[in-house]
Amino acid sequence: MKLGFHVGQVVFRGQDLRRQWQDHLEQLRACRDAGFAFVSWGHHWLIHPFQHFQPLPVLARFAAEAGEMELATGVLLTPLLNPVQVAEDVATLDHICEGRLILGVGLGYRPEELEAAGGAMAERIGRFEEGLALMKRLWTEDEVTHRGRFYQVTGARPTARPYQQPHPRIWIAGSTEAPVRRAARLGHAFFALGTVPHETLHRLIEQWRAGLREHGHAPPGELPIHREMYVASTREEAWRLARPSVEAKYAGYAQHGLPGLDDPTAGGLDRLMRETFIIGSPEDCVAALARYRALGVTHATVRLFWPRMEQAHVLRMIELVGAKVLPAAQTP
């Protein structure tokens, strides 16, 4: 299993943005030096009460210091974006990082973002599938004419082709059966998001594998997941420190209508922390990751930053994971 670091880009509004960016760079350098295999970055617009930067320019900057780490969008919400620009930007970034790019893509769940993009929630799936199909054509064909419901191009000649051929690996993100079926039908990896409990994940993975067979696709060879992680010297310390940070962050997510998240006041966070998040000592974290590895998971991207957490604390967790968790998790 490859372990990745999902940079903690979500902080509460009001913090100094220049300091925030320097903290992100310091986290990247720390996880590179600790031995993480890849780094990922998320995508949202207008996500009050949080503030964060956008993935493609950030990953382009990270490429200068990432060493051999892979770079992943975790995830890019393509229904918000023009697929021609995404195709060109992704091809450019793939060359900048010399083929170490992984394109994680998803629908998004916030009406505010679709409205800002000139679309509607009911159009997400259509925009996603049509846009992805157009991107693949732009990456592989010399001239493209496309007349779709949402996008039209005539005699388009792409200006950049990806470093990877025919294109970067694609991870289709989600937490329910619909994106599993979509990933299987299109022949791509299913990327399970961080609110999917272990037992549900097991069922979704089996459905994805069955769907790949049904549609005649060979397994992509990658099965990624995202997980929230909080690690400390002891299990008791980790749970004590994690709770206020989890409550602060997921109260904001609940306001946004994050799918799969119950009302935090009704025990939803207790369920998530117990069944989904990885919280505990290094030994606890190794054991939790081993359970996912047994399901066939090949990549796990973990978030080790929480809103209002001091940078020194983040760096200590990165160091602890690098010393005590990575050697066991990434052993062949």
pLDDT score at 269: 75
Rounded CA separation 197/59 (Å): 29
Q: At a CB cut-off of 8 Å and minimum separation 6, what does 293 contact?
A: 1, 329
pLDDT score at 13: 87
**E strands present in 194-298:** 224-231, 278-280
The range of the structural domain enclosing residue 30 comes to: 2-329
pLDDT score at 259: 58
Report the domain count for the chain: 1
pLDDT score at 48: 84
pLDDT score at 198: 92
pLDDT by residue for the chain (332 residues), tens digit each?
Answer: 999 999 876 788 888 999 999 999 999 999 999 999 999 999 999 988 889 899 999 999 999 999 999 999 999 999 999 999 999 999 999 999 999 999 999 999 999 999 999 999 999 999 999 999 999 999 999 999 999 999 999 999 999 999 999 999 999 999 999 999 999 999 999 999 988 999 999 999 999 999 999 999 999 999 999 999 999 999 999 999 998 888 877 776 666 656 555 444 345 677 888 889 999 999 999 999 999 999 999 999 999 988 778 999 999 999 999 999 999 988 76
pLDDT score at 265: 38
**CATH number of the domain that residue 185 is part of:** 3.20.20.30
**Exposure class string for 272-297: b at 16+ Cβ within 10 A, else e:** bbeebbbbbbbebbbebbeebeeeeb
Q: At a CB cut-off of 8 Å and minimum separation 6, what does 87 contact?
A: 134, 135, 138, 139, 158
pLDDT score at 268: 67
Residue 311 backbone dihedrals phi, psi, to 5 degrees: -60, -40
Alpha carbon 253 to chain centroid distance? 16
Rounded CA separation 222/188 (Å): 9
pLDDT score at 252: 65
Match 């990247």 to its residue by tokens. Answer: 28
Rounded CA separation 11/282 (Å): 25
